[in-house]
Amino acid sequence: MNENRTSFWKKDGTRSVLASLISILIGLAVGSLIILLLGIFNTSMKDAWEGIRLVFLGLFSTGRNTAGALTFGFNGINFGNMLFRATPVILTGLSVAVANKTGLFNIGAPGQYLMGTAATLFLALSIPSTKMAIPGVNPSSIPPIAVWFIALLGGMLAGAAWGAIPGLLKALLNINEVIACIMTNWISANLVTWFFDVSNLKNIVENTKSGYIYKTTINGVATPKMGLDKIFPGSQVNGGIIIAILLAVAVYILLTRTTLGYELKACGANRFAARYAGIKDKRNIVLSMAIAGALAGAGGALYYLAGNTEFFWSTYQSLPAEGFNGIPVALLAINNPIGVIFAGAFMSMLNISGLQITNLTSFNEYITDVIIAVIVYLSAFSLVIKLMLNGRKKKRAAASVVDDAKGADKGGSKA
C-alpha cells in the first residue's frame, strides 16, 4: 500500500511537473517582492497590495468600483485576449520542444515565425477573393476561406523551409544549429523588411500607418471565430487557439505513437547509436528542424490571419518576442507537447496581468516588464530544480541500500 502511494511522487514526470510549478511560484514570489519593495519605498502599501493581487488574479480583474476598490470576477475580454495571445506562443513553444526532443536547440523560431508571417500575409493579401475590398481590383471567384487555408499552409511551408536550413547545415556540415539559427534569424528579418518595403502591401490608406501592412480583413480573410466570440465577447479570440491545441495533440501523437517520432527521439538521445541501429540520422535532423520551423511559421500565420492585428514591416529593428518566448514555454513544459499548451497559456496570462497592473495601479509599464521578465527567465531553472529533486531521491535510495546492507549484515552475524 505504502509503495503504491509513494510511487506516484517518484515518477520522472511528476518531478518534472513539480519542478516547473516550483519555478512558477518562485517567479511569482520574486515579482511580488519587487512590487512590495516599490510600494514601501516609492508609492504606498495599498498600491503594493493591489499590485500583488493583480500579479496573481489579473486575469479575473474587472476594473474598479465606484469606491475605487479593485473588483474581480469573470472577464470575458481578458480571458479571450489571453487565448488569442497564447496561440503563437504555444506554437513557438512546440517548435522549440520538438527540436529539443531530437537533441537540437531551435533558437531560430523568431526567424521561422517571421518567414511564416511574410508568406501568409503575401498570400492572404495578393490572392483576390470574392470579398476583395481594395479599390480598382476586380473580385474573383475564390472564397475567402480558401484563401485563408492557402495562406496558412504557405506560412507553415515557409517556416519549414527556413527551419530546414540550420538542419541541413547541422546534418551535412556539422555546423552548430544555435549559430546557424542566430544567423538565419537576422537574415530573415532583413529579407522580410526588404520584401515588404518594395511590395504594394503597405498600408497607404492611413498616412499615420505607412509602416504597417494591411490587415487581412481588407481581402475578407480572417480566422473563423468558431463561436468563441460568444463565450468571450469583446475579445480578440478566434479559432486559432483550437488549431494550436490540435497541432499540439498531433505533435504529441507523432512523438509518442509513431515510428518517425521514435526515430526522432532516438537521434536526440544518441545520434551515433541511432545511426548504428539503421536510423537515418541526417534525414531526421533536417526533418525535425523543418517540423519545428513549420510550427513556428504557423504561429506567425495564425496571429496575423486573425485580421485584427497589423504587421509592422520594419522588422530589422527587433525580432518577434513570440519566437523567443517559445523557449521558456518549452522549458516549463519539459518539452511535453501537451504541457506546452498550459505553459503557453500561463505566459499569456502573465501578459494580461501585466496590462492590468499598468492600467489599474501606479506602477508603470517598465515595472511590469521587469516582473514578467523575472518570471520568464526563472522558468529556465525548472531543469535545475528537477536535478535537485532527483539528487535527493538518489541520496535517499543510496541511504536505503546502506541501511538494508547493515540490516542484512547484522542478521548474518547473529545467525
Mapped onto helix, strand or coil, the DSSP state of residue 12 is helix
The pLDDT score that the predictor gives to residue 100 is: 92
The pLDDT score that the predictor gives to residue 76 is: 92
Mapped onto helix, strand or coil, the DSSP state of residue 260 is helix
Degrees, nearest 5: CA angle 333-325-373: 100
The pLDDT score that the predictor gives to residue 61 is: 92
d(CA 397, CA 379): 28
The pLDDT score that the predictor gives to residue 132 is: 62
d(CA 55, CA 357): 7
Domain-wise residue ranges, the chain: 11-74+362-392, 86-345
Q: Which pTM does this prediction carry?
A: 0.87
* pLDDT tens figures, 16-26: 788 778 878 88
In contact, 320 and 179? CB cutoff 8 Å: no
The amino acid at residue 350 is L
d(CA 243, CA 124): 18
* pLDDT tens figures, 308-352: 888 887 666 678 989 989 998 998 888 999 999 999 999 899 889
Q: Show pLDDT as tens, one digit a residue, over the chain (415 residues).
A: 444 555 666 676 677 788 778 878 888 888 888 889 888 888 888 888 998 898 889 899 999 988 889 999 999 999 999 999 999 999 999 999 999 988 899 999 999 999 999 999 999 998 888 766 445 555 556 889 999 999 999 999 999 999 999 999 999 999 999 999 999 999 999 999 888 888 888 776 655 566 788 889 988 899 999 999 999 999 999 999 999 999 999 999 999 999 999 999 998 888 888 888 888 889 999 999 999 999 999 999 999 999 888 888 766 667 898 998 999 899 888 899 999 999 999 989 988 988 898 888 888 767 767 766 776 676 666 667 666 766 655 555 545 544 554 555 555 545 4
86-345 is classed CATH 1.10.3470 = yes
Backbone dihedral angles phi then psi of residue 304, each to the nearest 5 degrees: -90, -15
The maximal CA–CA distance of the chain, rounded, in angstroms, is 102
* pLDDT tens figures, 31-89: 888 889 888 888 888 888 998 898 889 899 999 988 889 999 999 999 999 999 999 99
The pLDDT score that the predictor gives to residue 19 is: 77
The amino acid at residue 168 is L
d(CA 376, CA 81): 19
CA atoms lying within 13 Å on the CB side of residue 349: 20
